Structure 1
Amino acid sequence: MESVHRIRILLVDDEPHILQFLELGLRNEGFEVRSAPDGEQAVIVASNFEPHVVVLDVMMPGMDGLEVCRRLKEEGKDVAVIMLTAKDEIDDRVKGLTIGADDYMVKPFSFEELLARIQARLRNQFPSLLGEIRLGSFTIDDRKKEIAYQGEALELSPTEYKLLKLLVTKHGSVLSKSNILNIVWDYDFGGEDNIVEVYIRSLREKLGDKEHRVIRTLRGAGYRVDLL
């Protein structure tokens, strides 16, 4: 069965391009992500979604991020709040930390920095979530960078680990070669896309997947993992 320990992240920002960029990046990292374009919707989504981490912009029309943070913390929700502030708004950072924000970042920021901040909050507040994730016959231990299949640890290179983790966490979804290249090999990969086929073949050998029942090929579309 799929692990119940899915890490949930709520993104709150009134700039659509920021939400879209962060949603894509965090989903590719395996997080379950929801977004809200303003404070009022953020409170509603948080009540139903119960996020572990909220990435929250301070400056929004209507209910601002400070009020959203205050409400979340007053309701006693077990949630880590990372505030996003403008470069010169020191008062907002002080106010945010005073009302319970757990961290803050100054715009503009890199995705890698945000990811590091999220992981730091998870280690601090939700350490149990960073253990093993069980999906069907697979067990993923991101701390050890190890994947087991049917109880047996697989000997994987770093790239094989990233590829198999992607396929397993996105199980049931078809991933095209271009999507896989963008995520596993990064967007600046300049080689041939047949490198994906080479790695898929290697993974199938290590999984004993001679009949391609675990990693399926959908001709002209891409690859899909079906959990057994």
Structure 2
Amino acid sequence: MSNTPNVSSIVLVVDDSPESLGMLNAALNNAGLTVLVALSGQQALSIAERITPDVILMDAMMPGMDGFETCEKIKQQLPMTPVIFMTGLTDVEHVVRGFEVGGVDYVTKPIVAEEVMARIKVHTQNARLAISAQTALDHAGQYVICVDHQGEIEWATPHVHQLVASAKGEEAEIWHSISAQLITWLQDDPALPLTISLFEMPMHAQFGGEHQAGHSLIRLVAAESEKSPETLQQKLPITKRESEVLYWVSFGKTNWEIAQILSMSPRTVNKHLEQLFKKIDVDNRTAAAAISIRILDGGEAQPA
């Protein structure tokens, strides 16, 4: 498999060394990438205000504003853009610091062009998938929040923003309160329910699984509209057992996990899925989950 990234990728390289910039600029250009260069953190911020790169290669140690501070500021503007740190340091403390400020990876100097290309390809693809997933959730009208490994909110769908805007109080304080509650909940036990009572209607937080490395999805549902497999059976032409399988599919559970929960074999789970796919006229579990989520959130199944 080729390590060459998508030819449409825009790479921002931030390094105070003209020699390093020249080498990377030549290598990335030869790979068909569009390269933007910055000799300082401030220059990088200025570029990021005008152009959104697909990935950023960030020198960790620079005079003035170092790479860590620059990354923190850029992440405020471009939370979905992956930042790969370049460092000659082998100290674990600096590697950890890079991840803490939002970096997704690091490479050590002297830079090996092939290694950088491979990492750029992986992280640009992951970022595009993440953006696509967020866009899909936005259009689906879901109340979804993405948090980082510290519980800080990275992004939320428009419906969550509308929910916060309609609540009483300052928006900044409401967001801060939501984040604080999620941090404690995720550290304790996300399998237990969390009720957020900041809105006119209390909302329950449900853990939606890992979104990217170090990121988690949290789904909010109206507390009084929580439903069960029986709700699905009432709304859809499926059996009790099929409704139980579909219920757990909507929570992103695998066949093996559903088998453990319902005390059946993964093969039996798969057979139930095949039958309910036919009954509700869908081709895959993603489409089935979409229908299930819509019903469980208080809506109706879309007509086929």
Give TM-score, length-normalised by structure 2: 0.39
Amino acid of the structure 2 residue aligned with 1:37 = L
Q: Which residue of 2 aligns with 1:102?
A: 104
Which of 63, 66, 90 in structure 2 is aligned with 1:64?
66
CA deviations over 1:67-113 (Å, ceiling 9, x no partner):
11101112343211000122333211101101210111111231000
Structure 2 equivalent of residue 7 of structure 1: 9
The equivalent of 1:224 in structure 2 is none
Q: Distance in 1 between matches of 2:52 and 2:70?
A: 14
AA matched with 1:29: A
Residue 19 of structure 1 corresponds to 21
User: For residues 157-192 of structure 1, what are the alpha-carbon distances to aligned partners after superposition, in whole Å with 9 as ceiling and x for unaligned?
Assistant: xxxxxxxxxxxxxxxxxxxxxxxxxxxxxxxxxxxx
Matched ranges for 1:33-52 at <5 A:
33-52=35-54
Number of matched residues? 125
Amino acid at match of 1:19: L
Pick aligned residue for 1:87 from 66, 89, 92 = 89
1:127 positional shift:
4.6
Describe the shift of the 1:128–1:74 C-alpha distance in structure 2 as closer, same or farther (beyond 3 A): closer
Flag the 1:28–1:76 CA change in 2: closer, same or farther, 3 A: closer
Larger Rg: 1 or 2?
2
Measured in 2, the distance between the counterparts of 1:73 and 1:51 equals: 12
- 2:72 aligned partner, one-letter code: R
SS of the counterpart of 1:126?
A: helix
* Alpha-carbon separation, structure 1, partners of 2:128 and 2:32: 16
Query: Partners in 1 of 2:72 and 2:94 — Cα distance?
Result: 13
Q: For 1:70, give the aligned amino acid.
A: E
Provide the residue aligned with 1:121 in structure 2.
123
Cα deviation for residue 35 of structure 1 reads 0.2
Deviation at 1:46, TM superposition (A): 1.5
Distance 1:47 1:76 in 2: 9
SS in 2 for 1:56: strand
Query: In structure 2, how many angstroms separate the alpha carbons of the residues matched to 1:124 and 1:104?
Result: 16
The equivalent residue for 1:77 is: 79
What CA distance in whole angstroms lies between the structure 2 residues aligned with 1:59 and 1:128?
29
**Other structure's SS at 1:59 match:** coil
**Deviations for 1:28-73, whole angstroms, at most 9, x for unmatched residues?**
1111111001111011011112111000001000100001110111
Specify every segment of 5 or more residues in structure 1 that has no aligned partner in the other structure, as ranges: 130-228
Aligned AA for 2:87? T
The structure whose residues are more often helix, as a share, is 2
Deviations 1:116-169 (A, max 9, x none): 11011012112599xxxxxxxxxxxxxxxxxxxxxxxxxxxxxxxxxxxxxxxx
For the residues of structure 1 that align with 2:36 and 2:128, how far apart are their CA atoms? 19
Counterparts of 2:100 and 2:79 in 1: how far apart (Å)?
A: 17
> What is the DSSP-based 3-state SS (H/G/I as helix, E as strand, rest coil) of the residue aligned with 1:66?
helix
Matched, 1:28 2:33: no
* 2:124 counterpart SS class: helix
The one-letter amino acid of 1:48's match is R
Higher RCO (Cα < 8 Å, 6 or more apart): 1
8 Å Cα contact 2:52-2:78 kept in structure 1:
no
Aligned-residue sequence identity (percent) comes to 36
Seen in structure 2, the aligned counterparts of structure 1 residues 19 and 68 have a Cα distance that, compared at 3 Å, is same
Tell me which amino acid in the other structure corresponds to 2:113.
F
**Could you tell me which residue of structure 1 aligns to residue 113 of structure 2?**
111
Looking at structure 2, the residues matched to 66 and 39 of structure 1 have their Cα atoms a distance apart, in angstroms, of 9
